Amino acid sequence: DKGFEDAKLIIDALKSKGVSSIGAAGFCLGAKVVVELAKVALIQAAVMLHPSFVTVDDIKSVKVPIAILGAEIDNMSPPELVKQFDEILKASEVDRFVKIFPKCAHGWTVRYDVNDTTAVSCANEAHQDMLEWFAKYVK
């Protein structure tokens, strides 16, 4: 709840400076904050990377385009849950991009061995997906 309230303050500050389009990315616990912002449309686009504590009910209330980047090996948001999120968004007609990264574990976009070329490649791919999503919706 505090993260959501803090994010609202930042969004208000950006808007007071003339920013009219805002995207938010949430990694792990940050995904819960981002989904809360997406539920009340305080942002124009959302990206969740290896989300934690995001529920089916949260996803049912999303009002802005959202990308969900999940890991094949993830107890917090297993692939079955991420696929359920995709189906809910599809039915609600909210634009979405959902991708599950094979052989990746929870946290792979920010916690990886820089000497592991596969891990680096997967993290870079996820970061590129995030940037492309924002380029599409945050103008």
Q: What is the mean pLDDT of residues 94-118?
A: 95
Per-residue pLDDT, 42: 96
Mean of pLDDT over the chain: 97
Q: Where in the chain are the domains?
A: 2-13+21-137
Round to whole Å and give the CA distance between 67 and 129. Answer: 9
HEC profile for 71-87? EEECCCCCHHHHHHHHH
**Residue 120, token pair as written in the block:** 């680096």
Per-residue pLDDT, 36: 98
pLDDT of 8-35, one tens digit each? 999 999 999 999 999 999 999 999 999 9
**Phi, psi (degrees; rounded to nearest 5) at 67:** -110, 135
Round to whole Å and give the CA distance between 136 and 60. Answer: 22
pLDDT of 29-81, one tens digit each? 999 999 999 999 999 999 999 999 999 999 999 999 999 999 999 999 999 99
Per-residue pLDDT, 35: 98
Per-residue pLDDT, 83: 98
- pTM value? 0.95
CATH number for the domain formed by residue range(s) 2-13+21-137: 3.40.50.1820
Q: Which of 21, 19, 20, 52 is nearest to 35 (CA)?
A: 52
Angle between helices 2-16 and 30-39 (to 10 degrees): 60
Per-residue pLDDT, 50: 97
